[in-house]
């Protein structure tokens, strides 16, 4: 370990490190291409092979894995926490789901922060040219800045939320100022992971397949987070009224076209939406296997196991059509956006409108797979509309059609914005 | 000998009739001991009760949370018997013992034989009670302590926490502006290249937009917080204000009570206060 070794990168020629410290630091940020040798510099390989390696191929730094994993940890923690509140009710600052969420924040913040410190104080000047100079002192990648913001916001929300509980009572609503700060932090963290990955995806790395998998993980986490925030509007009971489709169009079409474009993969949107389905579905299927007991009165339904979230929407079906539209090179972005919105809204309605009836009303949905009988312990099990749509849930056909039209128009504008956003993601260099 | 089961409401009434003592300073005095100065104030929402849980004689103090939902602090002093297990569960008026969570064990207080402490979670406003279970060598017994769960205070942000949050908020604000500025300029510049004039202009515009955007978020967040606090204050318990006058009329004392009906928080309840043969009667269903 005491021997020196040399690292080559597209933007700098050779940087020497020695000793264990150098090896340790290299874990936090491996340069875009690294060759290890114990021979003196003059014995390095001839130029052609090295030039090819330097021109685009990149080794993925460890922090990239860390922030992708952190994205996943935070959203899994949130899904678990929601189930915890519906099944047990009582929680503490350091409940297992909270630990998972804050572990994600610490994980992302720590790795991104160390990467910034290392870039700022240990790397040579030439290598700093691959980074953004921040406040005249620090050198960071753009994605790391997003992740650091997210981690600080999440950790700031902890004492804020603790005081909030003391001042205004324990959680009875998802959306409160400290929870919103937490959610913003998570969204920034997850988006930061996507931006960090874009830098390497745009550099035409040889490990593009792995980068795409990591991007899908981060984007899936972000999509799930946004859907979770809008749960009140994206509920099964809302699938026969216009508002569901308007909110679904806005949230989905703001994100998915950008992700599809940034991912540079034919079936990127499908992969991300399928990831959402698998993430929520798997959480539901696993959580139900564990026993739990409500710990907060009044308990009107005595539950015996963790309650799943509602069955995830089959967004991957309209996503297939969106991918097909995105693949069409001849269409301009305005036409693509409108077609994507049209395809998304109409296919989503075609799938979810009938499916909502099955999930809510059919006894066949009340099982481990669909979770149609999921319930909150504070609600009476005999509520008259537990397994039926309430009258206010059902809109007339003209009202639904009008809502779908509004969703297509708003969704088209969101998709156009998102496509432009995707182009920006394709140009990230640092 | 095992007692026959009785209903929840009957138990409450009996305990009230026999042994209810709602003067909290007496209990505090007894619990704290002669050597510790006892502190109390009139109007405290704390509940003190002396009663029997089967064969055990208990002295109970419940300090309800001043913010609902919250946790009530329960202290039990067992006057006879030791080495027993004491547990507590919240009982809500409309869901009864069937709707109660499993009981939480109160922990013995070190150095205070016979004393137990613990927390009970109260999630909803309204009338409720805490059901105490005692199990020991003398057998088992229950005691119900009636309480009212209502928010009575609005807490201020501690100074240190406030400064920490302000500093972190400023850091987040500056970092947000930096990120958006970099996102439209440095982040898009090829490695090793300097920022172009167009890039510098984009950065300035980005930073300006970010300042505006972030300021709007801060303003919106502050408005939301104020609105939340205002709603909390509206539903927080405010004592009903009344003026009292005692006059002598033909050798008889006459008490006149003027209730401020215009500003009373619970003016909707006033119709339930009716005179009955010269006395005040409160009718509650």
Q: Which residues of B touch A296 (CB under 8 A)?
A: 101, 121, 123
Query: Phi/psi zone of residue B278: left (φ > 0), alpha (ψ -120 to 50 degrees), beta?
Result: left
Cα of A56 to nearest chain B Cα, Å: 12
Q: What is the pLDDT of residue B233?
A: 83
Percent of chain B scoring above 90 in pLDDT: 33
Q: Which residues of A touch B192 (CB under 8 A)?
A: 11, 129-130
Please give the helix or strand (H or E) that residue A161 lies within, else none. helix A142-168
Name the residue of chain A whose CA is nearest to B104's CA: A295
The verdict on pTM exceeding 0.80 is no
Among A215-219, B20-24, B267-271, the range scoring the smallest mean pLDDT is B20-24
Q: Could you write out the three-class secondary structure of A370-389?
A: CCCCCCCCCCCCCCCCCCCC
Is B160 at the interface with chain A, CB within 8 A?
A: no
B165 with A159: Cβ contact below 8 A: yes
Name the residue of chain A whose CA is nearest to B186's CA: A132
* B contact test, residue of A167, A426, A428 with most B CBs within 10 A: A167
Is B227 at the interface with chain A, CB within 8 A?
A: no
Name the residue of chain B whose CA is nearest to A148's CA: B175
* A contact test, residue of B8, B97, B123 with most A CBs within 10 A: B123
Q: Which residue in A89, A180, A297 is closest to B95 by CB distance?
A: A297
A163 with B157: Cβ contact below 8 A: yes
Q: Could you write out the three-class secondary structure of A392-412?
A: HHCCCHHHHHHHHHHHHHHHH
Using CA atoms, how far apart are residues A319 and A260, in angstroms rounded to an integer? 10
pLDDT value at B134 more than 50? yes
Higher-pLDDT residue of B91, A38: B91
* pLDDT values of chain A reduced to their tens digit, one per residue, 430 residues: 333 333 333 333 333 333 333 333 333 344 444 444 444 444 444 444 443 333 334 578 889 999 999 999 999 999 999 999 999 988 877 889 999 999 999 989 999 999 999 888 888 777 777 888 888 889 999 999 999 999 999 999 988 888 888 888 765 567 788 999 999 999 999 999 999 999 999 887 678 889 999 999 999 999 999 999 999 899 999 999 999 999 999 999 999 999 999 998 999 999 999 999 999 999 999 999 999 999 887 899 999 999 999 999 999 999 999 999 999 988 899 999 999 999 999 999 999 999 999 999 999 999 999 999 999 998 999 999 999 999 999 999 999 999 999 999 999 999 999 999 999 999 998 8
Please say whether the beta carbons of A191 and A146 come within 8 A.
Answer: yes
Tell how strand B139-149 and strand A5-7 pair up: unpaired
Is A120 at the interface with chain B, CB within 8 A?
A: no
B101 with A135: Cβ contact below 8 A: no
Q: Which residue in B99, B168, B169 is closest to A300 by CB distance?
A: B99
Q: What is the pLDDT of residue B195?
A: 83
Sorted by sequence, the CB contacts under 8 Å of residue B74 that are 6+ apart come out as: B60, B61, B62, B63, B88, B106, B117, B118, B119, B120, B130, B132, B145
B175 with A149: Cβ contact below 8 A: yes
Using CA atoms, how far apart are residues B174 and B196, in angstroms rounded to an integer? 23
Is A380 at the interface with chain B, CB within 8 A?
A: no
Q: How far is CA A241 from CA A319, A372, B246, in A?
A: 21, 20, 63
DSSP letters spanning B250-269: TTEEEEEEEE-TTT-TTGGG
Cα of B219 to nearest chain A Cα, Å: 12
Q: Which residue in B94, B101, B187 is closest to A429 by CB distance?
A: B187
**Closest to B123 (Cα-Cα) out of B190, B67, B174, B176:** B67
Q: Which residues of A touch B221 (CB under 8 A)?
A: 177, 180-181
Name the residue of chain B whose CA is nearest to A129's CA: B192
| B residues 250..279 contacting A (CB < 8 A) | none
Q: Which residue in B94, B155, B182 is closest to A145 by CB distance?
A: B182
Is A172 at the interface with chain B, CB within 8 A?
A: yes
Q: Quote the distance between the C-alpha of residue A418 and its chain's center.
A: 16
pLDDT value at B78 more than 80? yes
């Amino acid at each position: 370990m005491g021997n020196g070794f040399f690292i080559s990168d597209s933007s700098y020629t050779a940087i020497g490190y020695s000793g264990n410290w150098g090896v340790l630091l290299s874990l936090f940020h491996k340069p875009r291409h690294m060759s290890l040798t114990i021979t003196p510099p003059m014995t390095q390989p001839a130029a052609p092979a090295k030039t090819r390696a330097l021109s685009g191929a990149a080794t993925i730094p460890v922090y990239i894995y860390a922030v992708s994993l952190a994205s996943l940890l935070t959203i899994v923690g949130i899904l678990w926490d929601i189930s915890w509140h519906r099944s047990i009710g009582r929680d503490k600052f350091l409940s297992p789901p909270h630990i998972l969420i804050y572990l994600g924040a610490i994980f992302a913040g720590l790795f991104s922060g160390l990467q910034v410190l290392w870039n700022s104080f240990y790397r040579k000047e030439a290598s700093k040219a691959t980074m953004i100079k921040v406040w005249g002192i620090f050198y960071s990648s753009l994605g790391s800045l997003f992740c650091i913001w997210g981690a600080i916001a999440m950790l700031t929300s902890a004492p804020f939320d603790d005081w909030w509980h003391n001042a205004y009572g324990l959680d009875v609503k998802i959306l409160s100022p400290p929870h919103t700060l937490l959610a913003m932090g998570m969204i920034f963290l997850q988006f930061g992971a996507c931006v960090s990955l874009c830098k390497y995806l745009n550099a035409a790395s040889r490990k593009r397949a792995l980068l795409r998998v990591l991007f899908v993980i981060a984007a899936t986490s972000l999509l799930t987070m946004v859907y979770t925030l809008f749960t009140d509007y994206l509920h099964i009971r809302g699938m026969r009224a216009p508002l569901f489709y308007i909110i679904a169009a806005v949230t989905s079409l703001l994100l998915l076209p950008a992700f599809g474009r940034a991912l540079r993969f034919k079936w990127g949107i499908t992969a991300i939406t399928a990831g959402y389905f698998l993430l929520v579905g798997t959480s539901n299927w696993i959580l139900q296997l564990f026993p739990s007991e409500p710990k907060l009165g009044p308990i009107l339904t005595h539950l015996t196991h963790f309650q799943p979230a509602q069955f995830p929407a089959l967004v991957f079906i309209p996503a297939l059509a969106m991918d097909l539209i995105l693949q069409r090179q001849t269409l301009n972005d305005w036409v693509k956006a409108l077609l994507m919105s049209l395809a998304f809204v109409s296919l989503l309605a075609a799938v979810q409108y009938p499916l909502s009836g099955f999930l809510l009303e059919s006894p066949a949905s009340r099982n481990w797979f669909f979770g149609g009988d999921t319930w909150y312990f504070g609600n009476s099990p005999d509520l008259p509309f537990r397994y039926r749509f309430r009258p206010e849930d059902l809109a007339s056909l003209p009202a639904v059609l009008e809502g779908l039209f509004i969703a297509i128009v708003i969704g088209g504008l969101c998709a156009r914005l998102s496509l432009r956003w995707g182009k920006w993601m394709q140009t990230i260099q640092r | 000998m095992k007692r026959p089961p009785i209903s929840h409401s009957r138990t409450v009434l009996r305990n009230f009739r026999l042994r209810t003592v709602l003067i909290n300073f007496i209990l505090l005095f007894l619990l704290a001991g002669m050597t510790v100065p006892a502190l109390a104030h009139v109007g405290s929402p704390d509940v003190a009760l002396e009663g029997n849980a089967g064969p055990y004689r208990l002295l109970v103090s419940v300090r309800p949370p001043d913010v609902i939902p919250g946790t009530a602090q329960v202290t039990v002093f067992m006057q006879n018997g030791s080495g027993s297990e004491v547990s507590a569960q919240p009982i809500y008026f409309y869901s009864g013992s069937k709707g109660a969570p499993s009981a939480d064990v109160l922990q013995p207080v070190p150095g205070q034989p016979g004393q137990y402490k613990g927390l009970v979670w109260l999630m909803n406003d309204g009338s409720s009670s805490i059901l105490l279970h005692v199990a020991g060598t003398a057998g088992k017994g229950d005691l119900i302590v009636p309480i009212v769960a209502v928010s009575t205070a609005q807490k201020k942000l501690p100074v240190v926490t406030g400064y920490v949050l302000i500093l972190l908020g400023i850091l987040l604000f500056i970092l947000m502006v930096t990120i958006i500025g970099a996102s439209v300029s440095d982040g898009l510049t090829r490695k090793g290249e300097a920022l172009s004039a167009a890039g510098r202009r984009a950065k300035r515009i980005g930073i300006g937009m970010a300042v505006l955007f972030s300021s709007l978020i801060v303003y919106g967040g502050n408005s939301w917080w104020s609105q939340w606090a205002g709603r909390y204050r509206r539903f927080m318990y405010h004592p009903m204000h009344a003026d009292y006058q005692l006059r002598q009329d033909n050798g008889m004392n006459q008490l006149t009570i003027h209730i401020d009906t215009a500003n009373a928080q619970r003016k909707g309840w006033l119709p339930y206060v009716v005179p009955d043969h010269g006395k005040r009667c409160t009718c509650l269903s």
